[in-house]
Structure 1
Amino acid sequence: MNMPDFATIDWRGRAVQIECAWIAPERTDAPLIVFLHEGLGSVAMWKDFPAQICEAANARGLVFSRPGYGRSTPREDNEIWDVDFMHRQAHEVLPALFAALKLDHEKPWLFGHSDGGSISLLYASRFPERVSGLVVLAPHIFVEDVTVANIELARTAYLSTDLPKKLARYHDSADSAFWGWNRIWLHPPFRDWNIEAELDAIRCPVLAIQGIDDEYGTLAQIRGIAARVGGGCELVEIPECGHSPHRDQPERVTVATAAFITKNRRQTP
């Protein structure tokens, strides 16, 4: 992965710096995979996994940190995300980033983990003609009790352990990353968040992967995706695997992703 660079977008009335890193940009004729991180993720937290995926799939890659994460512009002190925060990322931030990077002509593959998986689904729902396919790991399409319970535990850990210090390795502002994510997920109105109906508009192929031991969601999440998407959906349910399949079972995820992209590239007219 190349050293991170920055793209500037206009979002919510201010200039926001987005941390970006490219993988194998010299593969100019190869497909582009865009990696969307989890609720506490960043460019650095992916480590070398995106490069492994791109090598296996013979692809180029774009890894970026969403606003408030990594080296991207932190949240302002008074900035509190609302129930539509993932919709805003999908409908506003991602198109603005693609425009800033002059990728409007591309039809990328989106590879999203957790919140990043949900944002990928929402982007493909709003812009079905702009996506070649989706790989989503442990995505959320509705809120479950187990998710909220473990996010409450994360809040306790952040207040009482060295978790802020650990997150500071990956974020310029650990508070920006943690509280932006934690407060909205524990905001009572967010319990009604549900994107199932929006999945009907997705027309690209989808690979949905989840660990059987996922502590932040049940298999009802990816099975719910398979019941709704219009472009076809493959499910991979991995034993001995928690909420981060790319960390717990990286080889399984890499093989499944490369096979999925290779197969569906052949089938594209």
Structure 2
Amino acid sequence: MTEISEKEYWIESPGGRLFAKSWTPRDPVSNPPLILFHDSLGCVALWRQFPQLLAAALNRQVIAYDRLGFGRSDRRTDILSRDFIAVEAEQYLPLLCENLSLQEFIACGHSVGGGMAIWAGARFPVQCKAVISIAAQAFVEDRTLTGIRVAEKEFELPENMNRLAKYHGDKAKWVLHAWIDTWLAPEFGDWNLDAALQALRCPQLTIHGEYDEFGSVAHPRRIAGTHGECRILQGVGHTPHKECPELLVEVIESWLSSPAAASPKVADDR
């Protein structure tokens, strides 16, 4: 297996420090690195083996960071704004790029992080060379809200909160409510990614599990639209990077090495 070196970073932001980590092959190609945006309860550690597998398979650098309030990054106590997904790309991504001296990148995100990756591509069309979204939501769907309500009940069990605290420490309660309270708020009901998708010009791959409990296949189809490629993973749920990391890496590697990653196109293998 390709030798991968790991490095940690601390990035100053107006709200506090952000934790980031990179995985770099010994002799990486000169292609843009991938930046990973985590999901609503996620953090760097919860990507598990996926970043290392991806760096080795692509022979390029992979970077992940904990959003403010998550993982090892500093705490926050504010309520997320309705446009927090766009704000993440607009305000925090430039800090990461500046501190790691990134001139260009590929944005890749899971769930709500997929929306952030799409906004990154929309806001930074010169620097962002491609967008990969995994199990991303394009709008607020009843299936999404039902899944969140089920999870809310599950987190009433102390053992589930303890597992969340393992990764977020004493920030775990804020992390949980930042997810649940934001998505279930009535004023969030008409949120969608349409503006970002309309502005997106770079090649785009959207990946979705057939049995995703937080969103139907209407989401990847809407995200792919007329210039992206849509891949539906059979028998997979909401977390492909945990359920089938090798397959996910294979799908991403294949797409990045194809003509589709050089120019937008319409495609769907379902």
Scaled by the length of structure 2, the TM-score of the pair is 0.89
Structure 1 equivalent of residue 24 of structure 2 = 24
Structure 1 equivalent of residue 143 of structure 2 = 146
Contact 1:8–1:17 (CA under 8 A) maintained in structure 2: yes
Structure 2 equivalent of residue 171 of structure 1 = 168
Relative to structure 1, the CA distance from residue 186 to residue 267 in structure 2 (aligned partners, 3 Å threshold; closer, same or farther) is closer
Q: Secondary structure at the match of 2:126?
A: helix
Q: Secondary structure at the match of 1:189?
A: helix
State the AA in 2 paired with 1:4: E
Scaled by the length of structure 1, the TM-score of the pair is 0.89
Contact 1:25–1:61 (CA under 8 A) maintained in structure 2: no
Deviation at 1:241, TM superposition (A): 0.5
Q: Secondary structure at the match of 1:54?
A: helix
Deviation at 1:29, TM superposition (A): 2.6
Over the aligned positions, Cα root-mean-square deviation in angstroms equals 1.9
State the AA in 2 paired with 1:2: E
Structure 2 equivalent of residue 83 of structure 1 = 82
Structure 2 equivalent of residue 223 of structure 1 = 221
Contact 2:139–2:193 (CA under 8 A) maintained in structure 1: yes
Residue 110 of structure 1 pairs with residue 114 of structure 2:
no
Deviation at 1:198, TM superposition (A): 2.6
Deviation at 1:28, TM superposition (A): 6.9
Structure 2 equivalent of residue 192 of structure 1 = 190
Deviation at 1:3, TM superposition (A): 5.1
User: Equivalents in 2 of 1:66, 1:110: separation in Å?
Assistant: 15
Structure 2 equivalent of residue 44 of structure 1 = 45
User: Equivalents in 2 of 1:118, 1:66: separation in Å?
Assistant: 14
Structure 2 equivalent of residue 127 of structure 1 = 124
Deviation at 1:267, TM superposition (A): 4.3
State the AA in 2 paired with 1:143: V
Aligned partner of 2:256 among 240, 261, 264: 261
Report the count of equivalent residues: 257
State the AA in 2 paired with 1:153: V
* Segment of structure 1 superposing worse, 93-102 or 55-64: 93-102
User: Equivalents in 2 of 1:99, 1:189: separation in Å?
Assistant: 34
Relative to structure 1, the CA distance from residue 265 to residue 7 in structure 2 (aligned partners, 3 Å threshold; closer, same or farther) is farther
Spell out, residue by residue over 1:147-197, the C-alpha distance to the aligned partner (whole angstroms, 9 max, x if none).
111111212222234211001111132112211122101111111101223
Structure 1 gaps of 5+ residues are: none
Contact 1:32–1:61 (CA under 8 A) maintained in structure 2: yes
User: Equivalents in 2 of 1:150, 1:176: separation in Å?
Assistant: 19
Aligned partner of 1:5 among 2, 9, 28: 9
Which 4+ residue blocks in structure 1 deviate beyond 4 angstroms?
Answer: 264-268
Aligned partner of 2:228 among 206, 227, 233: 233
Structure 1 equivalent of residue 211 of structure 2 = 213
Deviation at 1:214, TM superposition (A): 0.3
Deviation at 1:249, TM superposition (A): 2.2
Relative to structure 1, the CA distance from residue 254 to residue 67 in structure 2 (aligned partners, 3 Å threshold; closer, same or farther) is same
Contact 2:152–2:180 (CA under 8 A) maintained in structure 1: yes
Contact 1:9–1:97 (CA under 8 A) maintained in structure 2: no
Structure 2 gaps of 5+ residues are: 264-270
Relative to structure 1, the CA distance from residue 195 to residue 174 in structure 2 (aligned partners, 3 Å threshold; closer, same or farther) is same
Spell out, residue by residue over 1:64-97, the C-alpha distance to the aligned partner (whole angstroms, 9 max, x if none).
1111110001112xx1112111111111111222
User: Equivalents in 1 of 2:42, 2:162: separation in Å?
Assistant: 15
User: Equivalents in 2 of 1:28, 1:234: separation in Å?
Assistant: 24
Structure 1 equivalent of residue 92 of structure 2 = 93
Deviation at 1:25, TM superposition (A): 6.3
Structure 1 equivalent of residue 247 of structure 2 = 252
Residue 72 of structure 1 pairs with residue 73 of structure 2:
yes
Deviation at 1:21, TM superposition (A): 0.7
User: Equivalents in 1 of 2:248, 2:136: separation in Å?
Assistant: 14
Q: Percent identity?
A: 31
State the AA in 2 paired with 1:49: F
User: Equivalents in 1 of 2:95, 2:223: separation in Å?
Assistant: 26
Q: Secondary structure at the match of 2:166?
A: coil
* Segment of structure 1 superposing worse, 215-224 or 239-248: 239-248
